């Protein structure tokens, strides 16, 4: 537990130190080219030339430009081109950057509803509240919340000494803020784990008991299923569905979010 907490704290520090907007850091000429390409992709989308729009949006991303709107528009283009898995994949990538966007949430929900034989496990009220708050902020936003909780804890402690608050008041305030710090650090740890392991099935495939072609098929996966990557071997990936079923699929059938 202590080792994991140290990893989370280290990740917080890295994000705080390296949290520079990569979009603004690029040369202005490259930025202008990306903006022009984004505009051309929008024109292609409106003209219902979805394959061209996909090519242009993918080109922007490959050149190093990544943002919520780019992934969102790319997801829309894939959906119109009837590539459901790729659409949901890019909606999920966009959600990590703009989790409270109403249009994105609606489009992603509709795309998921189109997955054949797809069902989510039943959740308790507590689980729904937990997931809603977990998905309410980006990793960067949660990192800043953790940082401010840590900072406020130190400020309260110093103010208590300077203003000579009673020991009971100081302990109560510091304990309350430490609880908030712990809770948000916990949420941040889950977000970082999801960012590393979450993936989407991008083509119909069969999950097998072992990572070999002749192994027995355990269950089938259609494109769009969200899974968690557990392990990787040459040509194979071990994945877990939301209903906790685990199997091996071909590497080309799954793509990390």
Q: Summarize pLDDT for 45-70 with one digit per residue, the tens.
A: 999 999 999 999 999 999 888 889 99
Please state, in angstroms and rounded to a whole number, the distance separating the CA atoms of residues 134 and 248: 28
82 with 133, same domain?
Answer: no
Global pTM exceeds 0.85 = no
The gap from C-alpha 136 to its chain's centroid, in whole angstroms, comes to 11
Residue 16: per-residue pLDDT: 46
Q: Which residues of the chain have pLDDT under 70?
A: 1-30
User: Which tokens belong to 255?
Assistant: 């793509």
Last residue within a domain, chosen from 113, 148, 172: 113
Q: Are residues 172 and 85 in the same domain?
A: no
In a domain, 221, yes or no: yes
* Last residue in a domain, options 196, 212, 232: 196
**Do residues 21 and 109 both lie within one domain?**
yes
Q: Are residues 151 and 220 located together in one domain of the fold?
A: no
The predicted pLDDT at position 28 comes to: 65
- Determine, yes or no, domain membership for 178: yes
Domain count, the chain: 3
Same domain, residue pair 82 and 141? no
Task: Tell me what pLDDT residue 24 has.
Answer: 46
Q: In the chain, what percentage of residues exceed pLDDT 90?
A: 46
Q: Whole-angstrom Cα distance, residue 220 to residue 205?
A: 6
Residue 81 lies in a domain: yes
Eight-class DSSP state of 209: S
Tokens for 213, please give them. Answer: 């072609």
Return the residue matching tokens 């809770």. 183
In a domain, 161, yes or no: yes
* Parent domain of 207: 202-256
SS3 per residue for 35-81: HHHHHHHHHHHHCCCHHHHHHHHHHHHHCCCCCHHHHHHHHHHHHHC
Where a domain ends, among 113, 147, 171?
Answer: 113
Residues 48, 9 within the same domain:
yes
Do 16 and 102 reside in the same domain of the chain? yes
> Residue 256's pLDDT is what?
92
**236: Cβ contacts below 8 Å, ≥ 6 apart:** 211, 248, 249, 250, 251
Q: Is residue 75 part of a domain?
A: yes
Asked, for residue 120, whether it belongs to a domain, the answer is no
CB-CB contact of 179 with 217 (8 Å): no
> In terms of domains, do 101 and 161 share one?
no
Residue 119 lies in a domain: no
For residue 14, what pLDDT is reported? 45
CATH number where 81 lies: 1.25.40.10
- The answer on 12 and 95 residing in a single domain is yes
Q: What is the pLDDT of residue 80?
A: 95
CA distances from 238 to 89, 95, 121, 209, 219 (A): 18, 24, 20, 9, 13
Q: Is residue 24 part of a domain?
A: yes
Q: What's the confidence (pLDDT) of residue 110?
A: 95
In this structure, the answer to whether residues 187 and 214 fall within a common structural domain is: no
CATH code for the domain of 207? 2.30.30.40
């Amino acid at each position: 537990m202590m080792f994991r907490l140290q990893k989370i704290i280290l990740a917080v520090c890295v994000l705080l130190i390296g949290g520079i907007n990569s979009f603004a850091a690029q040369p202005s000429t490259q930025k202008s080219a990306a903006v022009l390409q984004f505009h051309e992709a929008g024109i292609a989308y409106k003209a219902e030339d979805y394959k061209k729009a996909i090519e242009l949006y993918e080109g922007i991303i490959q050149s190093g430009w990544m943002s919520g709107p780019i992934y969102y528009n790319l997801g829309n283009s894939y959906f119109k081109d009837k590539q459901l898995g790729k659409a949901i994949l890019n909606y999920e990538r966009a959600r990590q950057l703009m989790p409270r966007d109403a249009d994105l949430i609606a489009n992603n929900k509709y795309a998921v509803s189109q997955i054949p034989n797809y069902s989510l496990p039943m959740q308790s009220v507590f689980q729904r509240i937990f997931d809603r708050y977990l998905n309410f902020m980006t990793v960067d936003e949660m990192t800043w919340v953790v940082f401010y909780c840590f900072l406020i804890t130190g400020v309260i402690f110093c103010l208590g000494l300077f203003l000579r608050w009673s020991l009971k008041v100081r302990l109560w305030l510091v304990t309350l803020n430490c609880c908030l710090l712990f809770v948000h650090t916990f949420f941040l740890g889950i977000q970082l784990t999801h960012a590393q392991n979450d993936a989407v099935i991008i083509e119909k495939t069969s999950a097998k008991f072992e990572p070999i072609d002749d192994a027995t098929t355990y269950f089938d996966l259609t494109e769009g299923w969200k899974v968690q990557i557990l392990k990787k071997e040459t040509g194979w990936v071990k994945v877990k569905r939301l209903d906790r079923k685990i199997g091996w699929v071909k590497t080309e059938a799954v793509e990390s979010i």
